[in-house]
């Protein structure tokens, strides 16, 4: 084991690309650790991991091109940016610190500068755009009230269809002796951000040819997020009406972010399944056209 480790160190120790990839791994791991240490929302941490993964798959096929050739100026700027991220990132204490949204874009930009001079940063165009989704998608919170109203109405419809007698007043839904309020994290903003992030990554890395398919993919990402959150709120409403608070443990789990991640992943799965259908359909269409030409 020791001999193998020495062999790997001799083989990769002088390899600039291996060192650059090691730095990328350390930065992404540090980013995830800092967000976890600051006890940021689990949904925020999962979104961060999804975006890092998106950056990886965006560069996966371009590994031979990633041999670092930075200019002195870009290397100096990249190194200074890494030091700034390490220093400022260590001071993140809670969700209100907006610097948490900038770590991922800053880290990707630093890695790009340490790999290429300014004029050749086009190689990292996709990873940089994916990284910028972190601060951009955080602005979805402005739609929180709208999503809360839509989710409350849809939940009332589903509960009525299940044979219960819910009473809705604004974003409050009363059911039996219990009630739920659809606001804040219950609005589905977290599920929507994760679902849209995956959709945009797919559209960048595995692009669809037809504009109608691209728009349809984004629409399904939104609808999947809203639908799974409707199911989640319906489940919470049914749990609060159980006698003697027997559903409290399950309610607390699915109400908190850790439990809601199950529904976020369900939305991602629905979108991924639908996107695969679109890709297969376009491939089949191209094959038919090529056969007709022949």
CA 96 centroid distance within chain: 19
Check pLDDT > 90 for residue 98: no
Phi-psi region of 202 (alpha: psi -120 to 50; beta: other; left: phi over 0): alpha
Same domain flag for 172 and 283: yes
Same domain flag for 65 and 167: no
Same domain flag for 146 and 101: no
Which pLDDT score is estimated for 93? 75
Same domain flag for 74 and 164: no
**What is this structure's pTM?**
0.88
Last residue of a domain, one of 75, 101, 131: 131
Confidence tier at 286 by pLDDT (50, 70, 90): confident
What angle is formed at CA 258 by the lines to CA 256 and CA 259, rounded to 5 degrees?
70
Same domain flag for 148 and 264: yes
Check pLDDT > 90 for residue 267: yes
Per-residue pLDDT of 102-137, as tens digits, reads 999 999 999 999 999 999 999 999 999 999 999 999
Check pLDDT > 70 for residue 9: no
Which pLDDT score is estimated for 5? 47
Same domain flag for 151 and 264: yes
| Structural domain that includes position 272 | 140-293
Measure Cα distances from 109 to 73, 90, 106, 129 in Å.
14, 19, 5, 10
Check pLDDT > 90 for residue 166: no
Last residue of a domain, one of 77, 98, 131: 131
| Largest interatomic CA distance in the chain | 72
Last residue of a domain, one of 76, 109, 131: 131
3-class SS of residue 184: helix
The total domain count for the chain is 2
Which pLDDT score is estimated for 48? 94
Same domain flag for 116 and 151: no
> What average pLDDT score do residues 255-277 get?
87
Same domain flag for 107 and 147: no
State the helix-helix crossing angle for 16-37 and 103-113, rounded to 10 degrees.
170
Check pLDDT > 60 for residue 280: yes
Check pLDDT > 90 for residue 236: no
Same domain flag for 124 and 145: no
Same domain flag for 168 and 276: yes
Per-residue pLDDT of 35-82, as tens digits, reads 998 888 888 899 999 999 999 999 988 888 888 999 999 999 999 999
Which pLDDT score is estimated for 269? 95
> What average pLDDT score do residues 23-36 get?
94
Same domain flag for 56 and 167: no
Same domain flag for 156 and 243: yes
Check pLDDT > 80 for residue 243: no
Confidence tier at 6 by pLDDT (50, 70, 90): low
Confidence tier at 1 by pLDDT (50, 70, 90): low
**Burial (CB count <10 Å: 0-12, 13-18, 19+), residue 218:** middle
Inter-residue contact 117 to 74 (CB < 8 Å):
yes
Percent of the chain surpassing pLDDT 70: 92
Per-residue pLDDT of 192-202, as tens digits, reads 999 999 999 99
CA 183 centroid distance within chain: 21
Confidence tier at 13 by pLDDT (50, 70, 90): very low
> What average pLDDT score do residues 224-233 get?
92
């Amino acid at each position: 084991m020791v001999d193998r480790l020495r062999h790997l160190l001799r083989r990769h120790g002088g390899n600039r690309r291996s060192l650059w990839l090691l730095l990328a791994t350390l930065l992404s791991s540090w980013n995830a650790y800092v967000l976890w240490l600051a006890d940021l929302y689990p949904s925020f941490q999962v979104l961060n991991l999804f975006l890092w993964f998106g950056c990886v798959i965006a560069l996966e096929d371009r590994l031979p091109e990633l041999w670092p050739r930075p200019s002195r100026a870009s290397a100096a700027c990249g190194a200074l940016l890494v030091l700034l991220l390490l220093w400022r990132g260590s001071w993140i204490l809670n969700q209100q610190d907006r610097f948490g949204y900038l770590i991922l874009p800053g880290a990707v930009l630093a890695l790009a500068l340490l790999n290429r001079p300014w004029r050749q940063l086009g190689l990292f165009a996709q990873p940089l755009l994916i990284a910028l989704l972190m601060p951009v998608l955080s602005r979805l919170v402005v739609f929180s009230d709208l999503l809360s109203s839509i989710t409350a109405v849809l939940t009332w419809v589903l509960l009525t269809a299940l044979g219960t007698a819910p009473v809705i007043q604004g974003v409050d839904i009363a059911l039996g002796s219990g009630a739920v309020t659809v606001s804040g994290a219950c609005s589905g903003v977290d599920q929507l951000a994760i679902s849209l992030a995956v959709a945009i990554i797919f559209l960048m890395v595995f692009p669809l040819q037809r504009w109608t398919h691209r728009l349809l993919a984004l629409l399904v990402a939104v609808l999947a997020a809203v639908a799974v959150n409707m199911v989640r709120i319906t489940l919470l409403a049914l749990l609060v009406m159980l006698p003697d608070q027997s559903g409290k443990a399950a309610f607390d789990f699915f109400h908190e972010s850790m439990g809601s991640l199950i529904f976020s992943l369900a939305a991602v799965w629905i979108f991924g399944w639908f996107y695969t259908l679109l890709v297969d359909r376009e491939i089949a269409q191209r094959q038919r056209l090529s056969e007709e030409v022949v």
